[in-house]
Amino acid sequence: MTTSEADAPQFDVDVDFLTGQPYPLWAQARGECPVFQTHSTMGFTDRPTFVVTRFADVERVLRDTEHISSSINAEHIGQYMGELILAMDGQEHRSYRGLVAHAFRASQLEKWDDALVRPTIERLLDGIAPLGKADLAQAITSKYPVQVICGIVGVPLEDAAQFHQWSELINGGPMHPEEGMAASRAMRDYLAPIVEDRRVNPTGDLISDLVHAEIDGQKLTDEKIYGFLRLLLPAGAETTFRVMGNALVALLTHPDVMQRVIADRSLMPAVIEETLRWETSVTQVSRCATEDLEVGGCPIPKGAAVSVITGSANRDTERFDHADEFDIDRPTANHMAFGTGQHQCLGMHLARLELRVGLDSILSRLPNLRLDPDQPPPEIMGLAFRGPESIPVLFDPS
């Protein structure tokens, strides 16, 4: 099959990267041309780029390892992170994932619940509970998952802010290459003595796990260890921090739901899954076509970039009734917030644990929690990454 660019429906994505609201555009695309070509690539690739918006097509692309590759992820962010699990395919990916997956199993995470996750959120809440008012994004959600990841990785808590800064600079590498490379080197220099120490003195943290992990006599190379550690902070902290903000906005703007959850904490998993469906923090993942193929009736030529809109799939009315509404009583149906197929989020059990413990502690420690009527209401925004900049609230001091 040969395909010219002229065959593909065109649809321009004109949504601000940081502050935009893409859902109306995605709804229109799902109805009119669910797979379309775009020129808005944010400068990340010179390849022709196709956007996939419907649930069924998103699922198909993410599960198709025969015609679709993840290697495109090495072209932008991989340059700054190093050897990247997100950019691997096939056997290389299976072996690597096998080596790092151990630490992220639900059973392994139990040890972090009481030892790290709850103390971290409680300590942050100690700082605001007496005040009676706070910005939950600045004071809590932007700090909590980073501090948890630092604890799991095994770097000192006092370096969490430095880590956060490096990971933002690494993430921004495609836009600001010099700063991105400098942060990438600085993080490696910082981690090197810790990695060497854990080879000799394992402590049970993630770095110890990574340096000693072995399958069939095979261990991770240094480049793969540093590549994984450079990915973990942005992959683990930036994502969960934003989803937690989205969950708080959902509860604060649906006070009836918040009252039900305060009275009955068994509803918390439904709140978390519905938030992940309704407003996930990572709305898209990248792939490229290794063969000419057709998705949702649209021809995609070999070599093209494929932007897979998981956020749009989660609002597809073919899959979810009244999909734009936040409804914790909807029948359970798998959402796409963590992707699917071989690259499905490795940290999803950790994310769910952090969200459950974090939201539970906030509702317990901040009585009579409500939006601050004297501040602008929080707004979930952004194209590829979505979350609120601020969440101004009032509560009874304690």
Least Å from the CB of residue 148 to ligand HEM: 8
Question: Rounded distance, CA 350 to CA 362, Å?
Answer: 18
Residue 358, φ and ψ in degrees, nearest 5? -65, -50
Q: 10 Å Cβ neighbour count for 184?
A: 21
382: left (phi over 0), alpha (psi -120 to 50) or beta: left
Residue nearest ligand HEM by beta-carbon distance: 347
Choose the stretch contacting ligand HEM; rule: CB under 6 A; options: 24-32, 233-241, 365-373, 383-391: 233-241
3-state class of 75 per DSSP?
coil
Residue 210 engages ligand HEM in binding (rule: CB under 6 A):
no
Q: Assign residue 154 a region: left if phi > 0, alpha if psi is -120 to 50, beta otherwise?
A: left
Touching ligand HEM, residues 75-104 (CB under 6 A): 85-86, 97
Binding residue (CB under 6 A) for ligand HEM from 53, 167, 184, 240: 240
326 vs 395 by CB, closer to ligand HEM: 326
> Is the CB of residue 187 less than 8 Å from the CB of residue 170?
yes
Nearer to ligand HEM, 293 or 345 (CB): 345
Binding-site size for ligand HEM (CB under 6 A) equals: 26
Would you say 302 or 356 has its CB closer to ligand HEM?
356
Give least dist CB 92 to ligand HEM, A: 11
Q: How far is the CB of 89 from ligand HEM (least distance, A)?
A: 10
Q: With binding defined as CB under 6 A, does residue 149 bind ligand HEM?
A: yes
Facing residues of 69 across strands? 288
Residue 228 or 395 having the CB closest to ligand HEM: 228
Q: Which amino acid is at 99?
A: L
E strands within 107-263? Answer: 133-135, 214-215, 218-219
Candidates 117, 225, 351, 383: give the one binding ligand HEM (CB under 6 A): 351
Is 206 a residue that touches ligand HEM (CB under 6 A)? Answer: no
Q: H or E segment at 232?
A: helix 222-232
Distance CA 119, CA 303 (A): 48
User: Is position 339 an interface residue for ligand HEM (rule: CB under 6 A)?
Assistant: yes
Q: Provide the minimum distance between the beta carbon of 385 and ligand HEM in the complex, in angstroms, as a whole number.
A: 10
> Count of CB atoms within 10 A of residue 120's CB?
25
Which of 25, 18, 26 has the alpha carbon at shortest distance from 42? 18
x/- binding map, residues 242-281, to ligand HEM, per CB under 6 A?
Answer: -x------------------------------------xx
Find out whether 255 and 373 touch, Cβ atoms under 8 Å.
no
Query: Dihedral (C-alpha) 201, 206, 212, 216: value to the nearest 10 degrees?
Result: 170
Which one, 258 or 276, has the nearer CB to ligand HEM?
Answer: 276
Stretch of residues binding ligand HEM (CB under 6 A), selected from 36-44, 114-122, 235-243, 386-394: 235-243
Contact residues toward ligand HEM (CB under 6 A) are 70, 85-86, 97, 149, 231-232, 235-236, 239-240, 243, 280-282, 285, 310, 337-339, 343, 345-347, 350-351
